[in-house]
Structure 1
Amino acid sequence: MTTAESYEQNFTNEGGFEFRFRYLKNIMGLWMNQSVRREINGVDYVEGKTAHKAMLDHKVGFDELCDLCREAEPFEAYVDVQDDRFLAPDSMIDEIKRACADCGQPVPQTIGEAMRTIYCSMGARYAKSIEGLRALTGNDYTSINIMGGGCQDYYLNQMTADATGLPVFAGPIEGTSIGNLIVQMIAGGEFASLQDARDCVARSFDVKRVDPQP
């Protein structure tokens, strides 16, 4: 679609296999997630920005961040994950705090509360984008597919399902590599069609379903 409404909502068209086009909207949120993790671990995540000392006595992984989110429940605050202020701040955690304070919301005081703010905000942005997609295309949508490394984030998968009211199908993890491989296999005659290849992928990889919580 190349309508003015699509342009205004920042939807675009990405070319794909067999002259297909994916109607696409980029949402930045996971950058914030990664930036907080780097900051906690004392990694200078943006060249030229202020380096940070590690905040804990061990290296923090994404699973631990999800556990900290659970501990912070039911803390809730929302920021605009598309705001330019989150592109390259000296401290992502401090910028999240300032954004919450600027709009009169509860200010996160712990790592878990900061991460909860990111996840709540991402879920809300996904829900808003799906509503925009429905309005622009005139189509309804009954589920969400999450592929690539982000599909391993169980907390985000659940937050996405809850915010949108739609089941989430998470996986496969190596979506880009698999897509590249099946295109070559189609060209080599291993698959008769794209649908044949997609059916094989569905049988071959563990795709987890996450339903909205009641």
Structure 2
Amino acid sequence: METLHIHTEKLTTKHFIWIAIIFTTLTFALLSYFNTQLPIISLLMIAISFGCILLFTATFFNPSTMSFTLTFMHCQFHSHYGGWSTTWHNIQHIGNVTLSSDGWHLPLPWIGIRLKSYDDFIRTICPRVASRILLEQRILLVMELKHSAHPTHQLENILFDDDPFITSSGEQFQGLQAMLANRMRYNRELLGFDFFIADDVLDRPVNDFIGLLRRYKAAA
């Protein structure tokens, strides 16, 4: 498989919504202020011009950013605060994340990754990325426990468990590394995966990206 660099647009749907809100507010403000002085068509043209300038500025200062590098050997995540990497041979399973509720499995906008061994992943992950995983992916554990009829853990006990973690090879992690390893252990127990990839860092729909990752893994 050829090396593939995946770029994600920083300007997301959320940003366009805010631009639309600002544009609408500006339009009404102009209509109210210049109502008796300028014709409606002129006011609308002014508002549209401001909107175009705003959109151009947002797009110019939010260029695409590389979020993943896929090679025949490994999958690597990039961000402005650091990244993580794992070989395809260390990935056990890639799949959709679902939430069980009343016998139904509700798909969530996340990709789940299950590893064979935590050692290299925990040892090499950027500390800032580890912190963000702990903060940003906790919502999945929260939802799973809230929808569970018979929860096996107390939420406050597992979100930031920093007990020393000993891997299958005997290596011991402490501090932030132990906290991430423990979180991955709880994720696996409750959700079936060790960590997750949100859809807002992807360049295509979740299922398409899962298919892409699986093809690289199969070819490794």
Greater C-alpha radius of gyration: 2
Please state which band the TM-score falls in when normalised by the shorter chain. Answer: under 0.3
Where is the strand percentage greater, Structure 1 or Structure 2?
A: 2
TM-score after normalising by structure 2? 0.26
